[in-house]
Amino acid sequence: MAVYLDNNATTALDEKVLEAMLPYMGQITGNPSSVHRFGRMQKDAIEQARESVARLAGARAEQVIFTSGGTESNNLLLNGFSKRNTDSRVAVSAVEHMSLLEPARHLSSTVDIVQADENGSINLAALERVVSEQTSLVSVMAANNETGVIQDLAPLIQFTAERDCFFHTDASQAAGKIALNFVESGVHAMTISAHKLYGPVGVGALILDKRLPISRLQFGGSQEKNLRAGTENVPAIVGFGRAAELAMAELEATAAHTYKLREALEEGLKEFSTVTAFAEKAKRLPNTVQFGIEGFDGETMLMQLDRKAIAVSSGSACTSGKAEPSHVLKAMKVPDALANSAIRVSFGKNNTMSDVEALLTALSDIIDINQHSSVMMAATV
């Protein structure tokens, strides 16, 4: 039986989420912008989902802007802000997801990079070094998709608030794994993606404080507070809302369950002298482990595990296939050879302890075979 351990890339659609979506995939018709009863039914479903997503994020419903996912949310925030505030500078952390770093690079003349420490954390001193009088927006993710490192945002938010800067956090990996509170945290914008918390692919949200000024990037209708023109994807939005409800209800149980699996894996990895766990001293998501294996290439190890029906990642799914080391590990100053060997394991609520045992057994077999082959080759030289 196949073992899926790549839940940070995407999670399986929860059956209860699918049940909520199905009526809106054919049985219930109508355009949400239409004023007749069929349109109102669609609109009501969207607004109910908006309430559910807002509760998960600790926000108000009117602050939730539905998008096609985390990438669009990050692009809308960064590009929309820069378009509206042409004389301002933006500071983003070096360990952000590529959906934020890539648009930042296209704004390179107005963007400053905040460096991370060896644990992948963004500390106040690093932020202070890049923030200037021209800086008006700072973006630091809530939790890293590769290492699982949870950022201590409170001092960063306080620092930016004292300088009248706006603060955005990408919470795509954090939502559904740790508690969030948009209003109490003091952030002005937050990104969430449904398919990271057992919802459908192709829908996300940008949660936005109305004080943060951004411009729309696409034009047409006045949907989503006049920030995202186009007829809403009602089935996906309904699924997002249901996934948010389930994530809230199951948060503590899922966190406890995945943490036990993470602990068991990390304990097992200690038996391998060639394995190095990344950011192990940092506070991390309960489900995420990233490690390097001396003498291996991460993509090669991934394929060997795949042959044993075990699915893991060598980093972010959005950057798979690239030859260079992970930008996150480079920011942590991990040597290239070790960074290139990186494997990310991310547990979900459906994983079991037998999945951990299967992975450890597979790793042992692959490493033993490699070491045996190396000995044989040395003996023939």
Each of the 381 residues of the chain gets a pLDDT tens digit; together they read 899 999 999 999 999 999 999 999 988 899 999 999 999 999 999 999 999 999 999 999 999 999 999 999 999 999 999 998 888 899 999 999 999 999 999 887 889 999 999 999 999 999 999 999 999 999 999 999 999 999 999 999 999 999 999 999 999 999 999 999 999 999 999 999 999 999 999 999 999 999 999 999 989 999 999 999 999 999 999 999 999 999 999 999 999 999 999 999 999 999 999 999 999 999 999 999 999 999 999 999 999 999 999 999 986 455 555 567 899 999 999 999 999 999 999 999 999 999 999 999 999 999 988 765 554 444 455
Domain ranges across the chain: 3-9+251-380, 15-246
Residue with tokens 């302890």: 353
For the chain, the maximum distance between any two Cα atoms, rounded to a whole number of angstroms, is: 81
Please determine, looking at this structure, whether the domain spanning 3-9+251-380 carries the CATH number 3.40.50.1100. Answer: no
Is the fold of 3-9+251-380 the same as that of 15-246?
no
Catalytic-residue membership of 318? yes
pLDDT at residue 369, as a whole number: 84
What is the distance between the alpha carbons of residues 294 and 117, in angstroms, rounded to a whole number? 22
What pairing do the DSSP bridges indicate for beta strands 189-193 and 288-293? unpaired
Please tell me what DSSP assigns to residue 76. Answer: H
Q: Could you say which of 318, 330, 350, 357 is catalytic?
A: 318
Contact (CB, 8 A) for 198 and 14: yes
176-to-256, 285, 303, 349 alpha-carbon distances in Å = 12, 11, 29, 11
Task: Identify the pLDDT of residue 376.
Answer: 46
Fold of 15-246: Aspartate Aminotransferase; domain 2 (3.40.640)
Please state the pTM of the whole predicted model: 0.94
Closest to 316 (Cα-Cα) out of 147, 119, 170, 76: 147
| CA proximity to 337, closest of 345, 325, 328 | 325
Residue 334: predicted pLDDT? 96
Give residue 159's pLDDT.
Answer: 97
pLDDT of residue 324: 79
Strand partners, 190: 169, 207
CB 89 within 8 A of CB 132: yes
